[in-house]
Structure 1
Amino acid sequence: MSGCIIPTEEKYRVKVNGWVNAASVDLIRDWGPPQQIFEMNGHKFLVYTTYDETVIQGDDPVYETKVEDNKVSRTVHRGTPDRIYKHHCKTTFEVFEDRVVGVNFQGNDCSSY
């Protein structure tokens, strides 16, 4: 019986930390252009951000009609609203002299296989 492979934050940490000491051009070749670049004191900060939404459809209301003694009654059982889950991950690579020297990330969807 084979197990499921589940993405985890720890696996993401290992993945992004693997870029430390790499050439910044190799990072950009692999990850694509960053969404933002900041510069300070000779350091560049390359920022990659992902956003996603998952919508879990709610239940429609249920209408119940009863007829008793020639009287009609109708009851409405309320449905449930849609649920929206927002996923995001912001990863920042610090670059100095064209080498990745540090990385950090934050968000509820920073995970990898």
Structure 2
Amino acid sequence: MRSFNELHSIDEVNQFKDNHQLALLFISRPNCSVCHGLLPQVKELMEDYPAIKLGHVNADEVQEIKGYFTIFTVPVILVFVEGKEYVREARIVHMDLFDQKINKIYKNLIG
């Protein structure tokens, strides 16, 4: 299963999203049961999309992430295409719909 790059600052997050054509950012907190349940599902789904780079941010560690991306709850999944946000999913993520959104972007960019 693919692993996520741990990002520890806003600067690292910006470099991550700006330096990859396709980037997924998973924002969570350690005591969030929904986060812990969703992360393995996202990891499994991302097996089908190897060109998407994966990043993880602990919102307790990087507290400014909330204001930076206007986040009100966790988990949040942000998908960036060439540094621009294209998909945002928060809290309860319907994996089949999320997969459809990712697949459409992926096919248009990667083929």
TM-score range, shorter chain: under 0.3
Q: State which structure, 1 or 2, has the greater radius of gyration over its C-alpha atoms.
A: 1
Q: Give me the TM-score of the superposition, normalised by structure 2.
A: 0.24
> Whose strand proportion is higher, 1 or 2?
1
Structure that is richer in helix per residue: 2
